[in-house]
Amino acid sequence: MKNFVFLSVLIALLFSGCEETPPQIDFSIPIIPLKDSTYIEPAPAPQHKAVLIEDITGVRCINCPDAAQKAKDIIAQKTSDSVVVMAIYPIEIFDNFTRPYPGVPQLATIISKEIVQALGLPQGLPNGYVDRKEFLVGTRPVSYTEWINKVNIRLQQKTPVNIGITKEITNRNLKVEIKLQYNTNAISGAAHKYAIYIIEDKIVSTQYTQSGNNSNYVHNHALRYAFNLTMGNPLTQTTVPGRTYIKQFEYEMPSEYVIDNCHIICAVLDSVTEEVINVREIDLK
């Protein structure tokens, strides 16, 4: 009897000792580029740097239209070739502000949620990021009233990488090609990544405003889609002046997207600090 009890305890201990917490599995399927190449050529002259404003916004946020207007004013002042705006509606975060209205085009996405979770939550809305930079140690969110000041600071920076974007559309099939060229400002060995997004303008949906719900409010720069990793895809080769990357992707545009109102954004980011090194935008018209 004692042997039986001992054996039972030993078996129980063995099985309990083998229990482990299984590793988290990523079930997402990355998009394989149609073309993915890199080479070194003579370093080009530098582009001017452009700045990315990410407007963290919501459809139930009474002051968010003010931030949207502020972004519009900054673009008009600086030109779209100097300032790129992306409006992110993070689903489930600040649910009182971002919870979608039923029966209208939906803007809140998991992609937006991933960006805010990765870069840091603001204390409230409206708010945003300017070049994803930490202007104060440990915090990236910037009040929309301060966007112009931060944009002016960032526009003084030089960029080590030129960004070129081309597109081809057949019916609703979109092919996007980006060309990243490290110019004469490039520093050898820098760790960078790139991100490509689709945004859409002129989306008519409900917005809470100072006058109540406006069912005909026009939303612009709304983030719709991210190619591959939301926070950026690594550039794996050693960075030197003249290093060039060619990346080409294909995407079937959903029927609810109005292609003529859509734009492609490509940003090159510092892999360590998350700061935007450079950014460019083209429309799909």
Q: Using one digit for the tens of pLDDT, what is the confidence trace for 41-84? A: 999 999 999 999 999 999 999 999 999 999 999 999 998 889 99
With respect to residue 21, please indicate whether it lies within any of the assigned structural domains.
no
CB 264 within 8 A of CB 285: no
- Mean pLDDT for the stretch of residues 114-119: 97
Single pTM value for the model: 0.88
With respect to residue 147, please indicate whether it lies within any of the assigned structural domains.
yes
Residue 241 token pair: 């002046």
Residue 180 token pair: 């990243």
155: domain CATH number is 2.60.40.10
Count: domains in the chain? 1
Judged by DSSP in three states, 84 sits in: strand
How far is the C-alpha of 113 from the C-alpha of 243, rounded, in Å?
33
pLDDT at 29 over 90: no
The helix (H) or strand (E) run that includes residue 12 is: helix 2-17
With respect to residue 7, please indicate whether it lies within any of the assigned structural domains.
no
Give the domain extent around 266: 30-283
**For residue 30, what pLDDT is reported?**
53
- 141 phi and psi, to 5 degrees? -60, 140
Q: Each residue of 197-234: pLDDT tens digit?
A: 999 999 999 999 999 999 999 999 999 999 999 999 99
With respect to residue 6, please indicate whether it lies within any of the assigned structural domains.
no
With respect to residue 10, please indicate whether it lies within any of the assigned structural domains.
no
With respect to residue 5, please indicate whether it lies within any of the assigned structural domains.
no
pLDDT at 164 over 60: yes
Q: Which amino acid is at 219?
A: H
CB 61 within 8 A of CB 133: no
pLDDT top residue among 35 and 105? 105
* Angle subtended by helix axes 64-78 and 147-155, to nearest 10: 30
Q: Sign (positive/negative) of CA torsion 73, 85, 88, 100? A: positive
With respect to residue 127, please indicate whether it lies within any of the assigned structural domains.
yes
pLDDT band at 182 (very low <50, low <70, confident <90, very high): very high
- 131 phi and psi, to 5 degrees? 60, 15
